[in-house]
């Protein structure tokens, strides 16, 4: 039986560590354009209580999104031990493409094309493909890659999630404290006669009123130019949507695989907000009538922030390489990778480790 198997992985975490003190001199406004009079120390403290994000990572000024995506990809290629010229597809997930230093989204040429170029791949039949799917983009890239392999249209695919959200946040918005930069990547290859690999997946797209839950909008500060767009979140709506829909989606995917929650070794859930992620997994276990096992769902958001499409592949690589204290993959264990984000879109896949 043909399986899609991860043969190499990599990640890039920016060197700049940004803690709460970075925001001491910030001026914040609310959604009504009014200046928030609370002290920044109080704002940051409350933010940490809600999200658990103590620190996050920002790229340096000399780097671009495709640069860090290529760094993660190079690690994955080297671990897989493949010739880059044998890669059939480069699938790159992001939200804003190649963000310029002045914060403008740039999709021409695409991030996937730029990464392919920076890896030195000359193969003209290696197709570059950008996955624009919100925070679930990397997981959806994996789902697409598996579909291509199962259809025998590809044998080797590079799937990258790379993001520089620090450049697209409104400096006057408290939500800027959530977002971060980073990149993660895997090589997915076709293999016969193996138990290891991609088992099943599930994708849900709610694109009615949910479109406005996470979108772009002008600055909250009415005194600055209103022509530039920034990330804008309706946090309460997102939280309610995620809690209502994500646990069911993960459970459905586990059932599709013919498994039970007790069969799952790890759940790598998109690191959006620790409070929300804990609540999602708690509710998932409740669907099975069981108690939440915290060790099943690793968390990186406290140290790395929300790097959107990069969070799940970064976590996977850290655990696989024994760089995440207290976590390792069980031999032959099943891993669920799940995400929710702009769209609103939800997805989940089940993967069996070697």
Whether residue 161 sits in one domain with residue 13: yes
Whether residue 184 sits in one domain with residue 225: no
Contact 335, 268 (CB under 8 A): yes
pTM for the full predicted model: 0.96
pLDDT for the residue numbered 112: 98
Residues in a beta bridge with 129? 91
pLDDT for the residue numbered 30: 94
pLDDT for the residue numbered 225: 79
CATH number assigned to the domain comprising residue 213? 3.40.47.10
- In angstroms, the CA 123 to CA 82 distance is 14
Residues 6+ apart with CB under 8 A from 295: 326, 327
Domain boundary among 143, 166, 195: 195
Q: Report, as ranges of residue numbers, the positions in the chain whose pLDDT lies below 70.
A: none
Domain span including residue 265: 198-352
Show the tokens assigned to 210.
Answer: 């949910």
Whether residue 8 sits in one domain with residue 40: yes
- In angstroms, the CA 337 to CA 199 distance is 12
- In angstroms, the CA 84 to CA 157 distance is 10
pLDDT for the residue numbered 109: 96
Whether residue 205 sits in one domain with residue 175: no
Contact 134, 158 (CB under 8 A): no
Tell me if residue 309 falls in helix, strand or coil.
helix
- In angstroms, the CA 285 to CA 353 distance is 22
Whether residue 112 sits in one domain with residue 139: yes
Which of 75, 62, 136, 64 lies closest to 107, judged by CA? 64
Q: Up-side HSE of residue 71: CA atoms within 13 Å toward CB?
A: 16
What count of other Cβ atoms lies within 10 Å of the Cβ of residue 102? 7
Which of 314, 131, 306 lies closest to 233, judged by CA? 306
Whether residue 34 sits in one domain with residue 165: yes
Residues in a beta bridge with 71? none
pLDDT for the residue numbered 163: 98
Whether residue 112 sits in one domain with residue 64: yes
pLDDT for the residue numbered 186: 98
Whether residue 36 sits in one domain with residue 8: yes
**Helix intervals (H) in 52-156:** 65-80, 111-118, 137-150
The dihedral built from the CA positions of residue 111, 350, 352 and 320, taken in this order, carries a sign that is positive
Whether residue 202 sits in one domain with residue 185: no
Structurally, the chain folds into a number of domains equal to 2
Domain boundary among 195, 220, 240: 195
Contact 93, 131 (CB under 8 A): yes
Whether residue 219 sits in one domain with residue 331: yes
Whether residue 203 sits in one domain with residue 191: no
Domain boundary among 195, 220, 238: 195
Contact 164, 50 (CB under 8 A): no
Name the helix (H) or strand (E) containing 198.
strand 197-205
Whether residue 111 sits in one domain with residue 223: no
């Amino acid at each position: 039986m043909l399986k899609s198997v991860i043969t190499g992985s990599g990640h890039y975490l920016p060197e700049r560590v940004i803690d709460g003190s970075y925001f001491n001199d910030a001026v914040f406004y609310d959604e009504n354009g009014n200046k928030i009079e609370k002290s920044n120390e109080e704002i940051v403290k409350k933010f940490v209580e809600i999200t658990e994000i103590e620190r996050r990572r920002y790229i340096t000024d000399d780097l671009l999104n495709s640069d860090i995506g290529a760094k993660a990809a190079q690690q994955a290629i080297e671990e897989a031990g493949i010739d880059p010229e044998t890669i059939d597809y480069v699938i790159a997930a992001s939200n804003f493409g190649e963000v310029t230093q002045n914060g403008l989204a740039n999709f021409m040429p695409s991030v996937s094309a730029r990464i392919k170029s920076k890896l030195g791949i000359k193969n003209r039949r290696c197709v570059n493909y950008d996955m624009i799917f919100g925070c679930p983009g990397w997981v959806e890239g994996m789902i697409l890659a598996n579909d291509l392999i199962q259809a025998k249209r590809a044998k080797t695919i590079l799937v990258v999630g790379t993001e520089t959200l620090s450049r697209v946040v409104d400096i006057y918005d408290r939500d800027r404290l959530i977002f971060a930069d980073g990149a993660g990547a895997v090589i997915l290859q076709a293999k016969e006669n193996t138990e290891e690999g991609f088992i099943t997946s599930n994708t849900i797209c709610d694109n009615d009123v949910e479109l406005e839950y996470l979108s772009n909008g002008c600055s909250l500060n009415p005194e600055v130019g209103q022509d530039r767009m920034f990330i804008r979140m309706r946090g309460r709506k997102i939280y309610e949507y995620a809690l209502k829909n994500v646990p069911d989606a993960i459970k459905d995917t586990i059932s599709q695989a013919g498994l039970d929650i007790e069969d799952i070794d790890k759940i790598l859930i998109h690191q959006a907000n620790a409070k929300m992620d804990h609540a999602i997994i708690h509710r998932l276990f409740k669907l099975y009538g069981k108690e939440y096992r915290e060790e099943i769902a690793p968390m990186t958001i406290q140290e790395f922030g929300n790097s959107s499409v990069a969070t799940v592949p970064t976590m996977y690589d850290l655990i696989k390489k024994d760089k995440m204290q207290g976590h390792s993959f069980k031999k032959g264990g099943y891993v669920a990778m799940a995400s929710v984000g702009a769209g609103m879109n939800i997805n989940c896949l089940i993967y069996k480790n070697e």
